[in-house]
Amino acid sequence: MMDVIIDTDPGHDDALAIMLAVKSKKFRIHMISTVAGNSIIENTLRNASYILGLLGRKDIPLCSGAEKPLKRELIQAVVHGKSGLEGIDPKIETDIAGDAVDKIISVVNGNPGKITLIALGPLTNVATAILKDPQSMSKLKEMVIMGGAINVPGNKFGVSEFNMFVDPEAADIVFGFGVKKTLVPLDACNHVILQLEDFEKMKDSKLYAPVMAMMKPYIKNIFEDLEVKGALMYDPLTVYALLNPDACKFRIYNIKVDTGGDKRRGKIIAEPRNNDARDTFVAEYISCESFKEDFIKIIKD
């Protein structure tokens, strides 16, 4: 069983990623931390709490982190609606403690060489932890990150990907940090699109109703914003890369992130490398067929 921290900003696909991680029973989830990104921190924390309740896993520690990027104002996503989880719009109370960074450091420090940090949103919490205590964060086993666009257009201005765009300074700090890193960029995600009929296959699951309630507005909003017909699976694919690396094709790059003006901000600058400590394993392809089959099978059980 893999020891993990999940740092996330739910978000419809983040919600599905949490479901996949929990339902797979392959991860020992030490904590889930939330960050502002797809929506404001109050919403991302509340949405994560709702999903854990849905899964019957309120025992997993949940905490809140950064409410804005390191040096910029927050730009929220469009496709997730005002609540960050349109279609569900949870109405539950949560405590915004803002202690995610300290708790991440504590878990990593207490489990040297064991923790894989799965980062599904902007990298503000992760970068802040690195800046605050690099010695402890160097004890990570690995970071697995959703974000970036290497050889395909980005979903922000056709250049950058949303997570990198929201906090490019944080992303550049993380990619320059000397621990093992795996990146799941748009290159590996854009061809994996689920339709409502795919989710119909989980009709006998107790998750069917809430998942369908989430997916209908998500699919509608994606088409209106990106002209893509279906549900993009960015964050579940990032979890899946850990569950089934044999379904992925990887290449090693040295990665930097452009922190300049709005039209280039968050652009990935990638150079092929041979594997230095600061380099990143990039998933250039993930099998759509394998993902669809495994994803539905796992979350419907």
What tens digit of pLDDT does each residue of 107-121 get?
999 999 999 999 999
CA proximity to 180, closest of 105, 109, 276: 276
* Spatial strand order in the sheet of 268-272: 62-64, 27-34, 2-8, 115-119, 142-146, 181-184, 280-286, 248-257, 268-272
**Residue 53, pLDDT above cutoff 70:** yes
* Overall average pLDDT of the 177-194 stretch: 96
How far, rounded to the nearest angstrom, does the alpha carbon of residue 101 sit from its chain's CA centroid?
17
- Exposure of 137 by Cβ count < 10 A (0-12 exposed, 13-18 middle, 19+ buried)? buried
**Residue 94, pLDDT above cutoff 90:** no
Share of the chain above pLDDT 70, in %: 99
Q: What is the pTM of this model?
A: 0.96
CA distance 64 to 8: 10
Q: Express each pLDDT in 194-228 by its tens digit.
A: 999 999 999 999 999 999 999 999 999 999 988 89
Which CATH fold topology does 2-300 show? Answer: Inosine-uridine Nucleoside N-ribohydrolase; Chain A (3.90.245)
CA distance 123 to 229: 28
- Exposure of 160 by Cβ count < 10 A (0-12 exposed, 13-18 middle, 19+ buried)? buried
Which pLDDT value is given to residue 15? 98
**Residue 277, pLDDT above cutoff 80:** no
**Residue 55, pLDDT above cutoff 90:** yes
* Overall average pLDDT of the 259-272 stretch: 88
Buried b or exposed e, range 97-116, using 16+ CB within 10 angstroms: eeebbbbbbebbeebeebbb
Q: Identity (one letter) of the amino acid at 70? A: L
Cβ contacts of 51 within 8 Å, gap of 6 or more: 10, 15, 18, 19
CA distance 52 to 162: 25
